[in-house]
């Protein structure tokens, strides 16, 4: 057992003793270090013209338990994981968000891959159908937010969706149904065309004309500004295009993952952990985002395992990031219930700033596993 996994498992075991039946870990309270939880049924919606984000992170605590089961082979983690996914089943028909991938890949797909439980597979495939149903065929993209018939939100698309479509790649692998493959690939092509700038920075949110796919507006929800590069969104893009290349062999996706990684690496500060937005004018007095570092490291390590001229370069950069996370950001002093400190959930909304983030912990563990496979 590696030192990093041993440290992480001590936290996971502590958390597994807690009763999360009323909600799932989201981010840690900056003052107390305890997990702030959200109920599994909460979904994002527009209320009085204001967008309220829902619980898109509920799948990551079960995902952490599944990763722990895979690493230790200890039966207690399997039982805890199965217990933790029960409340999520009610979300499988949620047609309000693209985050159905974040909800059901770490929880049900990963669980199926480790147990071959057919009920988990069937639930995950139903979730994939719901996600596929958000495809706007005329515009060639997956709608990000809101009910699929909401005219105000039908044009929404975010960079985050690139890390929801792995649910569709998986569904194609399981069924051979080209619907999943084609939707994922077409969405990735549209994202490649419209959400990577000439300088290889990424755009968080765009609005399309649904009937044509014409780009109307570049925006952000969690970044510094509409023209800035939000670090976590950029790391989603690195991972997402790496997955797209892995599943299609399309060189355009490989090249996208490479140039996005180059931008990420070039903008890192001396400790290799990005600030929450690469263009925040308050840098260096700006919050760091360890979750963006973990996600980016995972994507670059995965990229490093694929064939390509520059693969070793990205693996080495990712290892620098992981070393910094292990030495300076992992909660060695047991001050919080999370694993990796100094994440930034949403600086504009002042939520989870300088906190542990449940998805940051999940992708940190994935990065540790990916590093060990090199």
Q: Which helix (H) or strand (E) holds 344?
A: strand 343-346
CA atoms within 13 A on the CB side of 214: 4
Burial label for 148, CB within 10 Å (0-12, 13-18, 19+), is middle
User: Length of the chain, please?
Assistant: 374
Nearest to 246 by CA among 161, 310, 303: 303
Annotated active-site residue 160? The verdict is yes
Cα distances from 71 to residues 9, 75, 210, in angstroms, run 10, 11, 44
Strand partners, 219: 205
> Rounded CA gap, 245 and 237, in Å?
12
> Rounded CA gap, 60 and 361, in Å?
9
Of residues 29, 117, 129, 160, which has the active-site annotation? 160
> Rounded CA gap, 42 and 58, in Å?
10
186 CB-near residues (< 8 Å, 6+ apart): 135, 140, 141
Query: Which residue intervals of the chain are DSSP H helices?
Result: 3-16, 60-72, 75-85, 100-104, 110-115, 118-132, 166-175, 178-194, 231-248, 251-266, 290-304, 311-324, 358-372
Annotated active-site residue 333? The verdict is no
Angle formed by the axes of helices 231-248 and 166-175, to 10°? 20
Q: Which helix (H) or strand (E) holds 156?
A: strand 156-158
Q: CB count, 10 Å around CB of 184?
A: 31
| DSSP state at residue 275 | B
Strand partners, 206: 157, 218
Of residues 19, 29, 31, 99, which has the active-site annotation? 99
CB 202 within 8 A of CB 237: yes
Instruction: Return the active site residues.
Output: 99, 160
């Amino acid at each position: 057992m590696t030192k990093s996994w041993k440290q992480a498992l001590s936290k996971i075991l502590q958390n597994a003793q807690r009763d999360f039946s009323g909600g799932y870990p989201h981010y840690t309270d900056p003052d107390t270090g305890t997990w702030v939880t959200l109920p599994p049924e909460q979904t994002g919606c527009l209320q009085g013209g204001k967008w309220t984000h829902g619980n898109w992170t509920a799948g990551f605590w079960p995902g952490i338990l599944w990763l722990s089961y895979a690493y230790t082979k200890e039966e207690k983690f399997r039982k805890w994981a199965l217990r933790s996914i029960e409340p999520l089943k009610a979300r499988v028909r949620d047609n309000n968000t693209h985050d159905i991938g974040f909800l059901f890949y770490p929880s049900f797909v990963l669980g199926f891959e480790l147990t071959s439980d057919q009920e988990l597979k069937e639930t995950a495939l139903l979730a994939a159908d719901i996600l596929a149903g958000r495809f706007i065929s005329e515009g060639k993209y997956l709608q990000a937010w809101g009910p699929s018939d909401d005219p105000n939100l039908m044009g929404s698309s975010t960079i985050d969706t690139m890390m929801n479509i792995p649910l569709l790649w998986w569904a194609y692998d399981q069924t051979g149904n080209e619907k999943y493959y084609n939707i994922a690939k077409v969405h990735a092509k549209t994202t490649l065309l419209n959400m990577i700038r000439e300088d290889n920075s990424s755009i968080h949110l765009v609005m399309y004309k649904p009937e044509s796919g014409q780009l109307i507006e570049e925006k952000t929800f969690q970044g510094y500004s509409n023209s800035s590069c939000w670090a976590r969104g950029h790391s989603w893009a690195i991972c997402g295009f790496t997955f797209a290349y892995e599943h299609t062999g399309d060189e355009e996706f490989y090249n996208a993952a490479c140039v996005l990684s180059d931008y990420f690496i070039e903008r890192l500060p001396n400790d290799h952990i990005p600030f929450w937005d690469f263009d925040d004018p308050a840098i260096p007095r700006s919050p760091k985002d360890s979750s963006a570092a973990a996600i980016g490291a995972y994507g670059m390590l995965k990229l490093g395992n694929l064939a390509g001229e520059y693969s070793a370069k990205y693996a080495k950069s990712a290892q620098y990031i992981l070393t910094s996370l292990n030495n300076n950001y992992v909660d060695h002093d047991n001050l919080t219930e999370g694993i990796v400190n100094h994440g930034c959930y949403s600086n504009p909304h002042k939520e989870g700033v300088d906190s542990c983030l449940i998805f940051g912990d999940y992708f940190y563990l994935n990065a540790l596993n990916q590093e060990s496979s090199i």
